[in-house]
Amino acid sequence: MNINVENNNGLCRLRIEDEMTISTAAELKRVLFDNLAGCRELEVDLSHVNEMDTAGFQVLYLARREADISNKVFRIVSPGPKILSVLQLYNMKDFFGI
């Protein structure tokens, strides 16, 4: 997994690459939360993610929940088919505004 971070005036753009799975979930959580703490708006680009399992989903869910609690904007963009199928299966597209 590779995460590309771009900070711009309170808007943070993260681009995650490869997989969001249990093998990378700890790392994913750390990066997401580190960046969430320092911004007003977090945008997560999932277009380069080719795999997401339940561990990856949980971290994504947690980040969104944390953003809501602290009144920040959280948005995922360009989810690929793998991501969509998980969100579809879990009936969580609405939660992420997709």
Partner 1 sequence: METDPVLQTFIIESTEKVQEMESALLQLETSPEDEDTINALFRAAHTIKGSAGVVGIDNVEKFTHTVENVLEKVRLGEIRVTADLIGLLLRCCDHIGHLLESLSAGKDPEENPELKTEGQAIAGELSAYLAVEGQGISAEPDKETTAQGSAPETLTWHISLRFGRDVLRDGMDPISFISYLSKLGEITGLTTLTDAMPPAQEMDPESCYLGFEIDFRSDAGRQAIEDVFEFVQEDCEINIAPLHGNKPSRKAADTAAGKQTQTRESGSKVGGTIRVDTDKLDQLINMVGELVIANANINQQAKRIGDNSLLESAFALSRLVEDIRDRAMKVRMVPIGETFNRFRRTVRDFSRSTGKDIRLLISGSETELDKGVIEKIGDPLMHLIRNSADHGIEERDVRLALNKPENGLIHLNAYQETGSIVIEISDDGSGLNREKILKKAVERGIISPGQELSDREINNLIFEPGFSTAQKVTNVSGRGVGMDVVKRNIEALRGSVEVESREGKGTTVRIRLPLTMAIIDGFMVKAGASFYIIPLDMLDECLEMSDEEKHLSFKRNYFSLRGTVLPFLRLRDIFNEPDGGNQREHMVVIRYAGGKTGLVVDELHGEVQVVIKSLGRVYRDVKGISGATILGDGTVALILDVPGLVRNGTRKRRSGL
Partner 2 sequence: MARTIMIIDDSASIRMVVSIALKKAGYEVIEAVDGKDALEKIKGQKINLIICDVNMPNMDGISFLKTIKQDPNYKFTPVIMLTTESQEAKKQEGRAAGAKAWVVKPFKPEQMLAAVEKLVLP
Name the residues that contact partner 1, by CB under 8 A.
22, 25-26, 28-29, 33, 53-55, 57-59, 61-62, 65-66, 86, 89-92
Element housing 15 (H / E): strand 11-20
Residue 25 CB, nearest approach to partner 2 (Å): 9
Compare residues 4 and 50 and give the one whose CB is closer to partner 2: 50
Torsion of CA 1, 15, 56, 86, to 10 degrees: -120
Q: Which residues bind partner 2 (CB under 8 A)?
A: 21-23, 50
CA angle 68, 70, 73 (to 5 degrees): 55
